[in-house]
A and B are shown apart, each in its own frame.
Chain A
């Protein structure tokens, strides 16, 4: 029954193309396009996995002590722009509606300012909880294609895999290419100003220990695959 109430936001999205542009993103899910709401079983499994991960965060088990006071939502600088406020995430989890959080814009509007974490009277590390939602969304492809912060995160991870460091110019260029090239054109005046000040660095230096670093990251993947 509850399926009928789910926002079918696939209608707002451009059709899914193949995962774009040759990014090396080991272990990342392809963004998924919702064509139908999740079944109750799917949501239960999702919630279970989510909670398992949250419990692994230091103090994560405190998520069960949420009293729905709304201090997090009142403190969140992005709350105004969020479709669901932070408080509603835990409400949705309890109501078996966690999937709606992934469909909303809420998760990716967290800027990690940690104000909710500092203020939560129950001591819930809420910023870390938000991170967990982002990770789960990325892992399972539960985010709308073109979600700007998700695209940004994927390019960032890709740069680190290639160079061991972030490459600012590459990040910005690929970001606008993959989200909204027109907006990228709008950034040109700022780019020129920065260029004039010699603040744009185009070359990317690979770290010397890149091979070792890749082995380290691969070891994490291996360990995660074994679980």
Chain B
């Protein structure tokens, strides 16, 4: 099979990541099902390990690169682009791939470590975020063709978070990302201007320093509230958890009263593609996602 046909057939290695096995299972379920409808084949990377993200980099960067590289090596064996939906995993894998590719000394050290465990990595893998795969590889025409229930009248704010565009800005603008806004408009929704789109949700600090994290998440929620959005759309499991898990408490703190649904872009997309609540695990949400979609008449 030539490379062109593989590309055309939209087959990828899929890296779910640890949070999609835990609190954010709904992101995994909705991703797999929405991909299927779009004709995208996601083959789960066999025996993947932790991407080596943020908390690990803070202790040992070289080891975190090796953790990433083990996954990259497995993906290279499979011969497919490595796709993930978690922005944290995406940046960890992408950055490791980029740095290993750029720095011969680092590459030698990483390969040396991989070989100690029976693997090797030549550097021929692309790391992709599923959002960007949908927008760029599936593309506007194909997405629109698959829409059976346009998200008509759904006012959304697209919250891209930090680690899709930053620091490299290779797939979207580092400060004014719009991948999701484009996608949501193809799905028939109405993306509103959202100044907080790439501002920080506080990440892990919601747990470690809630007094800091809650303020940051609060600013995002309040902005969405002021724009009278029907829903916040996210592309990162940590953003999603932060925005919904203590929403009432945070809203009280920043003085807004929105009760705003937070959903993954894959859930919004899956709804437009005709998938049901179960196939998208909409019921997993702590915010009224099903309610707002039903009220807008887009969920049967």
A31 at the interface (CB under 8 A from B): no
Binds B, one of A11-19, A42-50, A96-104, A192-200: A192-200
Question: How far is A118 from B163 in the complex, measured between Cα atoms in Å?
Answer: 12
A207 at the interface (CB under 8 A from B): yes
For A156, the closest partner residue in chain B by CB is: B55
Would A114 and B163 count as touching, CB distance under 8 A?
yes
B63 at the interface (CB under 8 A from A): yes
Would B212 and A109 count as touching, CB distance under 8 A?
yes
Question: How far is A79 from B112 in the complex, measured between Cα atoms in Å?
Answer: 39
Question: Contact mask A19-60 → B, CB, 8 Å, 1/0?
Answer: 000000101100000000000000000000000000000100
Known: A77-B199, A77-B200. A149 touches B245 (CB 8 A): no
Question: Contact mask B212-229 → A, CB, 8 Å, 1/0?
Answer: 100110000000000000
Known: A114-B162, A201-B22. A190 touches B246 (CB 8 A): yes
Name the residue among B23, B24, B119 with the largest chain A CB count within 10 angstroms.
B23
Would A81 and B207 count as touching, CB distance under 8 A?
no
Considering the complex, which residues of chain A in the window 75-115 have a beta carbon less than 8 Å from any beta carbon of chain B?
77-78, 80-81, 108-109, 111-115
A215 at the interface (CB under 8 A from B): yes
Name the A residues within 8 Å of B57 (CB-CB).
Answer: 112, 131, 135
Name the B residues within 8 Å of A179 (CB-CB).
Answer: 208
A73 at the interface (CB under 8 A from B): no
- Checking A58, A117, A166 against B50 with a beta-carbon cut-off of 8 angstroms, the contacting residue is A166
Would B58 and A197 count as touching, CB distance under 8 A?
no
Name the residue among B99, B113, B199 with the largest chain A CB count within 10 angstroms.
B113
Known: A113-B200, A125-B167, A212-B119. A118 touches B212 (CB 8 A): no
Would B167 and A127 count as touching, CB distance under 8 A?
yes
Known: A149-B58, A197-B286. A81 touches B212 (CB 8 A): yes
Would A113 and B50 count as touching, CB distance under 8 A?
no
Task: Report the interface size for chain B: residues with CB under 8 A from the other chain.
Answer: 62
Known: A118-B175, A172-B207. A113 touches B49 (CB 8 A): no
Question: How far is A224 from B59 in the complex, measured between Cα atoms in Å?
Answer: 14
For A190, the closest partner residue in chain B by CB is: B245
Would A217 and B66 count as touching, CB distance under 8 A?
yes
Name the B residues within 8 Å of A135 (CB-CB).
Answer: 57-61
Would A207 and B47 count as touching, CB distance under 8 A?
yes
Give A179 Cβ to nearest chain B Cβ, in Å. 8
Would A152 and B166 count as touching, CB distance under 8 A?
no
Question: How far is A46 from B25 in the complex, measured between Cα atoms in Å?
Answer: 44
Would A209 and B166 count as touching, CB distance under 8 A?
no
Give A202 Cβ to nearest chain B Cβ, in Å. 10
Would B49 and A160 count as touching, CB distance under 8 A?
yes
Question: Contact mask B258-295 → A, CB, 8 Å, 1/0?
Answer: 00000000000000000000000001111000000000
- Checking B25, B58, B114 against A131 with a beta-carbon cut-off of 8 angstroms, the contacting residue is B58
Would A212 and B286 count as touching, CB distance under 8 A?
no
Known: A113-B162, A208-B47. A220 touches B66 (CB 8 A): yes
Question: How far is A15 from B54 in the complex, measured between Cα atoms in Å?
Answer: 29
Question: Contact mask B61-75 → A, CB, 8 Å, 1/0?
Answer: 111001100100000
A6 at the interface (CB under 8 A from B): no
Would B60 and A220 count as touching, CB distance under 8 A?
yes
Known: A114-B166, A157-B55. A168 touches B23 (CB 8 A): yes
Name the A residues within 8 Å of B67 (CB-CB).
Answer: 160, 213, 217
A216 at the interface (CB under 8 A from B): yes
Question: How far is A188 from B202 in the complex, measured between Cα atoms in Å?
Answer: 21
A-B contact pairs, 23 of them (CB 8 A): A28-B59, A77-B199, A81-B209, A108-B208, A111-B162, A112-B162, A114-B163, A114-B166, A114-B174, A115-B162, A115-B200, A135-B59, A148-B207, A148-B209, A149-B208, A160-B67, A165-B50, A175-B207, A190-B245, A199-B25, A201-B22, A201-B23, A219-B116
Closest 10 CB pairs of A and B: A212-B117, A114-B166, A148-B208, A113-B200, A219-B116, A156-B55, A113-B162, A216-B117, A166-B18, A168-B22
Name A's B-contacting residues (CB within 8 A): 25, 27-28, 58, 77-78, 80-81, 108-109, 111-115, 117-118, 125, 127, 131, 134-135, 138, 148-154, 156-157, 159-160, 164-169, 172, 175, 179, 190, 193-194, 197-201, 205, 207-209, 211-220, 223-224
